[in-house]
Amino acid sequence: MSTETATSTKTYTIDPAHSTARFWVRHLMVSKVHGTIDDITGTVSFAEGTPASAKVDVSLNVASLSTGQEQRDGHLKSADFFDIEKFPAITFVSTGITAQGNNEYDVVGDLTIHGTTHSITLRAEASEEVPNPYGGFKIGVSATGVINRDDFGVSYNQALEAGGVMIGKEVHLTIDAELDRPA
């Protein structure tokens, strides 16, 4: 089946070997703890010449989450946080895209974490399509955003004696993806 139709719709598949999702959250209200989710799958399709027509469908396998500290990773995957036994994936499905100029876009979509879905807006930038030296074509996309983890039921925390909480509510997200389209 061709990835292009008579209306010149192009469909790209996320290259998981060259894509990652990164995040950071405040710890003890002072430092940033960083993590990654490396197992990303999905597609992006749009009518040629109108990137704002894009449809984005992405899934992150939470089992691939890593913060570089095994004990913390286990806790994040537990029922206290992501509960990967019940909710193994984080998904994002676009509902609208607005061009902002200079290959930048506001991408609105439904983000589902821990079985809860909310509409969010990501700021994305996309490269021009280039030939892949191994055949087909590639584009690169980076998207960033901030969410409140409490909105998704990922609310585990501990109060600190000096005031405040152990883990910040704001989660800063960055997804960098390389997308493939066959020739």
3-state secondary structure the chain: CCCCCCCCEEEEEECHHHCEEEEEEEECCCEEEEEEECCEEEEEEEECCCHHHCEEEEEEEHHHEECCCHHHHHHHHCCCCCCCCCCCEEEEEEEEEEEEECCEEEEEEEEEECCEEEEEEEEEEECCCEECCCCCEEEEEEEEEEEEHHHHCCCCCCECCCCCECECCEEEEEEEEEEEECC
Domain that holds residue 159: 9-49+58-89+128-181
Residue 155 lies in a domain: yes
CATH of the domain at 44: 2.40.128.110
Q: What is the mean pLDDT of residues 128-146?
A: 96
Are 140 and 176 spatial neighbours (Cβ–Cβ below 8 Å)? yes
**pLDDT for res 29:** 85
For residue 1, being part of any structural domain is answered with no
pLDDT at res. 174? 98
pLDDT number for residue 160: 82
Structural domain includes residue 62: yes
Residue 171 lies in a domain: yes
pTM, full prediction: 0.91
> Are 140 and 179 contacting, i.e. CB atoms less than 8 angstroms apart?
yes
Say how many domains are in the chain. 1
Decide if 45 is inside a domain. yes
Reply yes or no on whether the pLDDT at 52 is more than 90.
Answer: no
The pLDDT value given to residue 5? 46
Instruction: Give the model's pLDDT for residue 7.
Output: 63
